[in-house]
Amino acid sequence: MASKSAKSFTLKSVFNLKTLIGGAVILLLVWLIAVFNFGLEQQSIFLPGVTSEGHFGFEASCASCHDGFKKVSNETCNRCHEAELAQDIHGEKKFRDIRWAEKLENLDALTCTACHNEHVQMYGRGVHLQPDLCMACHQGIIEGDMKSHDGFTEEGCWTAGCHNYHDHRSISTGFLYDNLDQPPMLPVQQLPDIVVEATVESAPTPNLKQEFLGGDA
């Protein structure tokens, strides 16, 4: 039945193959432009690779990181990562010091994208990192400058979980030194408590009419 009515519906008389293909191409183009310009959910079709663990979930929102076709800037990263970078040991403060300023020639350490790239192969931690990143400045550590680190691998610094590039407050030698040999359970085991102070002794009786029709509650 369906095939017969389809037959009687002579599409050929209205459309030929050329106009059909042309129409489809135009529709596809309009859709692509709309997706690109209006930030629709389907923007994920423009993703060039697998999104990192941290950025996964909102990767269809290109404008979150990209301002048109410009390079991703530190400002874009800081929109979300500012709090985490507040104690950046490799931050601006470090490289304003003339002892370290020239190290920026080895690696542009003040530009997020010098080390971090999205959409490329991951090393299980944040956005893409070169495993031997630290060697741009700290090669000496594993080549005799520090006896305890002789012969360590180039990527071991952070892949082994011992060092953090940005915030090393809780993994620094000083921190470990101060907290060695603690018992499994500390003598005082207590998490912060939350105290809510009441301003009235008992709950008032809600009067919806007064609240919503007569102004103030």
Partner 1 sequence: MKGQQGIGRPSWRSVVSVFLCLGLAIASLSLGNITPALADGVTEAELSEMTELWKGSAHALSEINCSSCHQDSETEAFVQKPNYESCQSCHEFETDTFLLGKHGIRLNEGQSPLTPAKARLAMKPEAHSKQMNCNACHNVHSVNTYEASVDSCLTCHNDQHSLNYETSKHAELFVAEGVLPRPSSASVTCATCHLPRETHQETSGGDVLVNHNNTYTLKPRDRMVSEVCMNCHGMEYAYNSIFDNELVESNFAQPPKLHLKSFDMVRVLRDKREGK
Residues that bind partner 1 in the complex, under the rule CB under 8 A: 1, 4-5, 8-9, 39, 41, 53-54, 56-58, 60-61, 64, 80, 83-84, 125-126, 148, 161-162, 164, 167, 169-171, 173, 175-177, 179-186, 189-204, 206, 208, 211-212, 215, 217
Nearer to partner 1, 143 or 211 (CB): 211
Distances (CA, A) of 74 to 48, 96, 151, 152: 21, 17, 35, 32
Identify whether the C-beta of residue 140 lies closer than 8 Å to the C-beta of residue 73: no
Minimum distance from residue 22 beta carbon to partner 1 (Å): 28
Non-local (6+) Cβ contacts of 156 within 8 A are: 162
Q: Which is nearer to partner 1, 106 or 207 (CB)?
A: 207
What's the closest the beta carbon of residue 51 comes to partner 1, in angstroms? 10
- Residue (18 or 209) nearer to partner 1, CB: 209
- Locus of tokens 């709309």: 34
Q: Please identify which residue in the block is written with the tokens 């979980």.
A: 161
Please name which of 72, 41, 73 lies closest in space to residue 58, comparing C-alpha atoms: 41
Rounded to whole angstroms, how far apart are CA atoms 207 and 204?
Answer: 9
Question: Closest distance between partner 1 and the C-beta of residue 24, in Å?
Answer: 25
48 versus 184: smaller Cβ distance to partner 1? 184
Question: Shortest distance, CB of residue 18 to partner 1, whole angstroms?
Answer: 27
Contact residues for 208 (Cβ-Cβ < 8 A; gap 6+): none
Residues pairing with 172 in the sheet:
none
Distance CA 100, CA 94 (A): 7
Nearer to partner 1, 79 or 99 (CB): 79
Rg over alpha carbons for the chain, rounded to the nearest Å, is 30
The least CB distance from residue 80 to partner 1, in Å, is 5
Judged by CB, which is closer to partner 1: 65, or 110?
65
Q: Cβ 141 to partner 1, closest distance in Å?
A: 13
